[in-house]
Structure 1
Amino acid sequence: MNDSLHHPAPDSMAPHDIVIVGGGLAGGLIALALHRHAPDCRFLLIEAGRTLGGHHRWSWFETDLAPQARALMAGFDLNGWDEGYDITFPGLGRTLPTSYRSLASAEFHARLMAELPREQVMLETKAAQLDADGVTLADGRRIDARRVIDCRPFRASRHLAGGWQVFLGQHFACEEPHGLTRPVIMDASVEQSAPYGNEAAYRFVYVLPLSPTEVFVEDTYYADQPKMDAEVLKGRVAAYARAKGWKGEVIDQEAGILPVVSGGNFRAALAEIAIPGVALAGARGGFSHPLTSYTLPFAADNALAIARLIATRPGVSGNELAAFCERRAKRHWRATGYYRMLSRMLFEAAKPDKRVVVFEHFYALRGRLVERFYAGRSTWPDRLRILSGKPPVPIPRAIRALFSSGKPLDTKPLNTETPA
């Protein structure tokens, strides 16, 4: 690695217009949007890891993105399926028509490093402290900036309530063609059990055919605790692949634990992590879907909004940018309240081993309704339709969940390390 490309000497430079701390999805897309739409902005992207984006795969429905957001993602080497996707439940199997997209973090890193100016990206660089005037690095160096954006990972708060989405996925190179032509977004016909101990959880398998002979298989759980037994999950992924007749080599693996936020005091949660004059973005700033944990549509939308602000108001201050992002975060929180209520229904009204019934009830509804749900744009008729009909949870438990403040999120650090 050529250190001159990844570790510029900020001490000798004038203050940057913007320093972005955290080169994950949100930070990387903000940098890309600034580069394309605010070319006079002198930004710096700082990432603690060796690559941008970490080790993840982000997926979304084509209908999740507005035209400008699709244009932002157009330069990436995406996996895409235009024949729809499948879902499978004990009493339901359907093919829905919506096109689906997926992006691996390796491709995310490659595209950004090819397009962004090398001197504006710092890898393997840990930020120790952020403030309104810049960033102090772990090695003591100081980077001055007119504006700072905090895109570091999500941090659980005692002010937020909910559960967790626990997952481990493996990328197989099969010896023979696997035969799939479209993704399986949810195969919930599998045994409903948690990835640890004897506790129950909603479990499904997620499958992406990446090429005629390569397939990504992920075991996913909606669980009450942020726990992972990686060996159990690896065994279950292998068993699923064997049952499908897919023989081959595992060439990659990823795992994670994501929050499924069902309620709480968002203002207090923001205040707990906010730094005066520093803008918050990404999952850390609350920009995710409360029930699905999808982040890419919101990250792309935010990146474009920030770039437009900087392009049209190049003199906007750091405090104004921080206030702009905070307003967007609070608006997003208000707009997604319905989905947090559904999360409470899932985690508090439905018994863990019966959560599959909640999702089966949902996926029996019309495809356009499902599209709008994932995009976070459910209409009022959609919302009434989701809650109508025979309730998938006991009514007394549903009423208690409706008025519950939710179970506080576990604030212990999450351990998502898994054996290779």
Structure 2
Amino acid sequence: MSSRAPASIVDVAIVGGGLAGGLIALALANKRPELRVRLFEQGATLGGNHRWSWFETDLDDPAKVLLAPFRKAAWDGYMVGFPGYDRALETPYRSMASHDFDRALRRELPAGVVQAGIEVVSLAQDHVLLADQTRVPARAVVDCRAATPSRHLAGGWQVFMGRHLRTTHPHGIELPFIMDATVDQIGGFRFVYVLPLSANDIFVEDTYYQDSPKLDRDALSSRLDAYCAAQGWDYGIVGHETGVLPVVTGGDFGAFRAEQSAHGGVVLAGARGGFAHPLTSYTLPYAAGLAGRIADNADLPGDQLAALIDREAREHWRDTKFYRLLGRMLFQAARPEQRVRVFERFYKLPPPLIERFYAGKSTLRDKARILIGKPPVPVSRAIPALLSAGRPMQGKTR
């Protein structure tokens, strides 16, 4: 038994200081500053080592207000490139690095909210237990830790390696190239993602939509070297990141949610709660929206707040069915090196349709427009894919 005295009760205990947890803490500080909130993060900094990007049209006005304190790169458009064409689009694009996320939260949150370098070993609806056996009672507990790999989901994987480079001379790139798919298609749909962060700073990432979660660091590193050499960049490496994200195409969502929490009455948020775009794996717009709704309902007892967010998660699963269907087309109907044709066809569509697609708000007319016409995959493979529940996901994320 621990000899420590129990900690005083808090109103909301948030476990996991990544994107979802940090935004929930900020929304509570903005809307309910009188509440006692604690944000527990095992690592030394909030947000880990990540870069989040989004279209400005992904966010509603409250989400834009919530994100206002964060330093971010901003552009008034972006580029895509495919073997058959390049295209410039005028949708505003934004990007934020995790170190800027950490700095802003430490500045904006009241003293004592951020509990970094603190490991939570277990949690329940009325408390969290720390590694030193301190028990922190809480009226509501929000679990924002990373999702655990699940046998209940089907789909494929988005695998990537990114580098922040500093060039010795101005690189001359003005707009983000969010999808340069003119590169060799290897093992699935491959594209390079390029963000001009300043005149001499650039972020470049090699990304793959592939059937397995394997991340071959040596191969991706050498391909990034070759891509940068082809651009003529002379540079030093400032930072880097790698990632393996699930691209969910089906599964038993109820079983997944049950698997993610050992105890009822705990609020599941972020990717652990299933709040992501199934096809793009975007999480920021959903994290910002959910943070506001949790703050708006922060007076609810923990079990009632958990039930409310559970209903919202299930509605999100139903509302994003169309994108999981497209994911099955991508992973099961299109042969790996031909998956580029799916995106090449998509990016010829009208910009407002593309904006609604990324925001997860495609209309019935949008869906029909995406599906009609000559399909970019063989019909003989498309029909079985549409009728399938999806390919079971094997392996684990990093």
> Quick check: TM above 0.5?
yes
Tell me which residue corresponds to 1:318.
302
- Give the superposition deviation at 1:94: 0.3
- C-alpha contact (below 8 Å) 2:7/2:135 kept by paired residues: no
Gaps of 5+ in 2: none
Q: 1:362 to 1:20 in 2, by over 3 A?
A: same
Candidates 87, 91, 110, aligned match of 2:84: 91
Q: Give, in whole Å, the separation in 2 of the partners of 1:15 and 1:408.
A: 42
- C-alpha contact (below 8 Å) 2:156/2:248 kept by paired residues: yes
Candidates 205, 217, 225, aligned match of 1:238: 225
- C-alpha contact (below 8 Å) 2:8/2:136 kept by paired residues: no
Tell me which residue corresponds to 1:407.
391
- C-alpha contact (below 8 Å) 2:50/2:98 kept by paired residues: yes
TM-score, length-normalised on structure 2?
0.97
- Give the superposition deviation at 1:141: 1.5
How does 1:333-412 map onto structure 2 within 5 Å? 333-410=317-394, 412=395
Task: Summarize deviations over 1:207-232 as a string: whole Å, max 9, x none.
Answer: 00000111000000001000011121
Aligned length: 395
- Give the superposition deviation at 1:11: 4.6
Candidates 272, 282, 292, aligned match of 1:304: 292
- Which piece of structure 1 moves more, 154-163 or 30-39? 154-163
Letter in 2 for 1:229: D
Q: Give, in whole Å, the separation in 2 of the partners of 1:321 and 1:12.
A: 24
Q: Give, in whole Å, the separation in 1 of the partners of 2:104 and 2:344.
A: 38
- Give the superposition deviation at 1:38: 1.0
- Give the superposition deviation at 1:122: 0.8
Q: Give, in whole Å, the separation in 1 of the partners of 2:38 and 2:231.
A: 46
Tell me which residue corresponds to 2:215.
228
- C-alpha contact (below 8 Å) 1:92/1:364 kept by paired residues: no
TM-score, length-normalised on structure 1?
0.92
Letter in 2 for 1:262: T
Q: Give, in whole Å, the separation in 1 of the partners of 2:343 and 2:132.
A: 48
Tell me which residue corresponds to 1:32.
26
State the secondary structure of the residue aligned to 2:392: coil
Q: Give, in whole Å, the separation in 2 of the partners of 1:102 and 1:358.
A: 25
State the secondary structure of the residue aligned to 2:329: helix
Q: Give, in whole Å, the separation in 2 of the partners of 1:252 and 1:273.
A: 32
- Give the superposition deviation at 1:264: 0.6
Q: Give, in whole Å, the separation in 2 of the partners of 1:348 and 1:103.
A: 33
- Give the superposition deviation at 1:39: 1.0
Tell me which residue corresponds to 2:201.
214
Report the identity percentage.
Answer: 54
Structure 1 vs Structure 2 CA RMSD: 1.2
Letter in 2 for 1:292: T
State the secondary structure of the residue aligned to 2:170: coil
- Give the superposition deviation at 1:149: 0.4
Tell me which residue corresponds to 2:102.
109
- Give the superposition deviation at 1:413: 3.8
Gaps of 5+ in 1: 1-9, 194-199, 416-420
How does 1:10-409 map onto structure 2 within 5 Å? 11=5, 13-82=7-76, 84-193=77-186, 200-274=187-261, 275-310=263-298, 314=299, 316-409=300-393
- C-alpha contact (below 8 Å) 2:125/2:266 kept by paired residues: yes
